[in-house]
Homo-oligomer: A and B are copies of this chain.
Amino acid sequence: MNKAIIVGNLTRDPELRATGSGISVCSFTVAVNRRFKDQNGETQADFIPVVVWRQQGENCAKYLSKGSKVAVCGAIQVRSYDAQDGSKRYATEIVADEVQFLNSRGEGAAPQPRQERPAPKAPASMQFDDDLHPVEDDDLPF
């Protein structure tokens, strides 16, 4: 069992990339306010990276933008990698099962596509091979 549910706002516009074989993957960070203020009375937030695969990721890229409020449900994924200095580093993110749009460009209105733009295509410099990677991919393009 590995479930995370967060509600918060995007810190930036989402980024859409694709694996070499054309699987879409969208990534963004959600600012989640903590329930209690710090000792200075300041609101604190956790900044939680989220990735969304395939059609759902494309919808996120299309309808969400900086400031959009979302509810995300998914699994916590911890990837470890070796830094250039040889040390072990960890990258933690939520791999989303569901993303619910709580306001994209104005609560009450149906979400509008963020912009007309050509079909997302990762630049060659970002492409990588995903032949071996099904849904449970561990080799994310970011």
Contact = CB atoms under 8 A, between A and B. Distances in A.
A142 interface: no
Interface string A33-61: 01111110000101110000000000000
Contacts of A77: 46
A23 interface: no
Interface residues of A, number: 45
B100 A76 contact: no
Contact of A1 (B90, B100, B138): B100
A122 interface: no
Q: How many copies of this chain sit in the oligomeric assembly? A: 4
Interface in A87-117: 89-90, 92, 94, 98, 100, 102-103, 106-108
A61 to B, nearest CB: 20
B78 A48 contact: yes
Contact of A76 (B46, B98, B136): B46
Contacts of A133: 39
Nearest to A92: B92
A133 B44 CA distance: 14
B39 A132 contact: yes
A4 interface: yes
